[in-house]
Structure 1
Amino acid sequence: MTALFGAGRHPDADRLEREALAAGRAPERARAAGAPGQPFPVFPPAADGFRARCAREFAAVTAARGQPPGAPRPVGERARIRGELAAAMFAEEHGRPPANARELSDFLARVSRPATSAVAGYDPTFRR
């Protein structure tokens, strides 16, 4: 089940691949023998994304004020920090500041989305 639901491979994928190699198939064709369909997509993690940088900035502000870690920040202050950080990241990525509020808003919406991840699942069908 680990092979099927964890990696999107046939439960006997290793055996099928070995048999295909022994039969003289090319390695990429042998690997395909153990795949019931398309492999699950793997999305690279955002190593230093907007959310991680926001968390570090919020923690720095909290520490600078001598407050305990995780102390809540007022909504207006969180918005200011997020906006300043988004403008800085926009400039890093594009080599210039945002042309207007809409361009910054579009950038902020894109970078603040949660990371994409693939999940395995099944769809049971019941009949009475």
Structure 2
Amino acid sequence: MRIRVVSIREEIFTLNPNERLVHLAFRPSNKDIFGLIETCPKIEVIQLPKSYMATVSKSIEMFLQMQRVQLLEGDVWGHRKDINEYFTISSSVIEKIKNMKMEGRPAEEIEKKVSRESKLNPSMVGYILNKEITA
């Protein structure tokens, strides 16, 4: 699973229209969010750093809900954009999530344990957990 990292607003309009997971490494305006939704109609998740989540307007949150786009808090730890424009969630992490789910562990426990071990935000682990169940 790959997360497209966008570090400047000018990149939004050069994205592949099939992107589903996007991490914005800058403080987006409402216009940036609208542009992202327009450029990537299949988008499922927009991830923002914790410090930027507080600045997202309620109207944008409602707009994203109507578009069925999840707004998640999180970071891409140790990612270097100059090397790769995607942050990759390793298959071993995804397998661990699947295995814990098959063992019957509660979602909260899976999110807590995997996020601690992999440095993924619990909300992203929750997204993967729900995505893998339906996939």
Tell me the TM-score normalised to structure 2 length.
0.19
The structure with the largest alpha-carbon Rg is: 1
* Larger relative strand fraction: 2
Tell me the TM-score normalised to structure 1 length.
0.20
